Chains A and B, each alone.
Chain A
Amino acid sequence: DIQMTQSPSFLSASVGDRVTINCKASQNINRYLNWYQQKLGETPKLLIYNANSLQTGIPSRFSGSGSGTDFTLTISSLQPEDVATYFCLQHNSWFTFGSGTKLEIK
C-alpha cells in the first residue's frame, strides 16, 4: 500500500504570507495527487487535482507542484478565509490520504 506523509501537521501564518504544505508518497505516484480544503463545519472541497491543475472556481493564490514522490500545495498570499484543514490524496493506486495540516492565522 502507498503511504502518504503530510507535513506540517499544524501551521500558523500571517495574512499575506506565502504558505507551503507538503506531501510525500512512499513510492512513485506520478502526478496522481489531489489537494483538498476542509473548513470547520463544511464539506471537503477539491482545490488541486493531478498535482497542479486548479479546480474551477478556486482562487489563483492556490497552486500545486511536484511529481513522483514529493508534492507541495502553495498559498501565495494567505487570506483569513483560508483557515482550514488541508489534506492530500494519492489516486495512483487505489486511494490514500495524507494526515492533514491545520492552518491558522497568527
Chain B
Amino acid sequence: EVQLVESGGGLVQPGRSMKLSCAVSGFTFSNYGMAWVRQAPTKGLEWVATISYDGSSTYYRDSVKGRFTISRDNAKSTLYLQMNSLRSEDTATYYCTRAYSSYINWFAYWGQGTLVTVSS
C-alpha cells in the first residue's frame, strides 16, 4: 500500500525558515517523480513544486521560486521542502504527492498533509 507521511509543519514567524519532510513506503521511491501541493485555509489547491525521480530536475510555481527548494533522498525514501523567507500567504496545509509513473508527473497518491502557519 502506498503511504506518504508528511512532517515538519507548525507555527513559524514571517521571514523565517521551515523544512518539511515526507517519508514514503509501499513503492520504489527512486522510480517516481514527487511533488508538493498546498491548500490555504478556505482556498483551493495549488501546485508548489515538482522533482524528477532522480532529483536532476526541479520545477516551481512562480510565487515560491528562489524561496523554496524541493529535494529528495532516494536512499532514505524521503522527500523534502525547504521553505525560506516565509510569508503569511504561504500559510497552508502542504501535501506530499507521488507521480502516476516515472514519466507522468501528475498526482496519483497524496499524503494527509502538514499544516504550516506563518504568523507573528
Greatest chain A CB density within 10 A among B4, B59, B110 is at B110
| B42-64 interface bits toward A, Cβ cutoff 8 Å, 1 = contact, 0 = none | 00111100000000000101000
CB distance from A42 to the nearest CB of B (A): 8
Contact-residue bracket for chain A: 10 to 19
What total count of A-B pairs have CB within 8 Å? 41
Q: Are B106 and A44 in contact (CB under 8 A)?
A: no
Which residues in A have their C-beta under 8 angstroms from that of B46?
Answer: 97
How many residues does chain B have at the interface if contact means C-beta atoms less than 8 Å apart? 19
Which residues in B have their C-beta under 8 angstroms from that of A95?
Answer: 37, 47, 106-107
* Chain A, 61-106, CB within 8 A of any chain B CB: 87, 89, 91, 94-100
| Chain B residues engaging chain A, CB cutoff 8 angstroms | 4, 37, 44-47, 59, 61, 95, 100, 105-113
